[in-house]
Amino acid sequence: MQHEQIDQLLKRTLSDFRLSRGEKRIVADLADEAERAGINLDFLRHRAFALGAEELRDPQSKQVLEWLEDVIKVLRPKPPEEPPRPRVYFSPGDECLNAVRGSLERAKKTVDICVFTITDDRIAEEILETADRGVAVRVITDDDKSLDAGSDISRLKSRGVPVRCDRSEYHMHHKFAVIDGETVLTGSYNWTRGAARNNEENLVAYQDSGLAGEFMVEFERLWDQFR
């Protein structure tokens, strides 16, 4: 689409100094076609104001039109910001481990952890360091797994980290954490050294407060249930 064609179409709608219903449709179609051609809608707005200004004889009126164009540019709605894309990590290897530790290091206010088991001392140490920085940390885990050899749950409790376990013949099998009400870590990855060293696992990190809110509802439900 050529710029001359745009001007010709706009001039046709300007001929009687009013925009009929049919002409509104023409302008809307013009905008769609221009967008497909990679022409910014700001250019269409600018040309419409420029053509309108040409019809004005009073210089002061033209200045008013220029003022109106500038105001409309400032008041133009901003497109909504898209949340960062989720990051995906895999094991064996240290990808998942480093993602968990990095998220804990960046925590500022709250960390709510709901995982089947914690036996990786590197993660447990990061949890303790996070709590020592004044971040409010809570942990929900499975009662049976908390008694396994190598479990770090007792150490976390002894250092003052609030921990609650299920009391059921079934497993509390969740594997998620919510950081500062905005970041969600979830996936198959168990917070164990074996998962980092041997297992085929995945961990996904989301920066999404809406999604985090849904996980927090489940966390609070379990926290109350296991009191």
Indicate which residues carry an active-site annotation: 173, 175, 180
**Is the CB of residue 135 less than 8 Å from the CB of residue 109?**
yes
Task: Report CA Rg, the chain.
Answer: 29
User: HSE of 22 in the Cβ direction (CA atoms, 13 Å)?
Assistant: 3
β-partners of residue 176 are: 114, 186
Q: Where are the alpha helices (DSSP H) in the chain?
A: 3-14, 21-36, 41-54, 59-75, 95-106, 121-132, 153-158, 193-197, 209-225
Give first-to-last CA distance, the chain, whole Å: 67
Q: Which of these, 100, 126, 83, lies nearest to 201 by C-alpha position?
A: 100
Using CA atoms, how far residue 55 sits from 15, 47, 65, 207, 222, in Å, is 10, 13, 11, 51, 69
Find all residues with CB under 8 Å of 211, minimum gap 6, and list them.
184
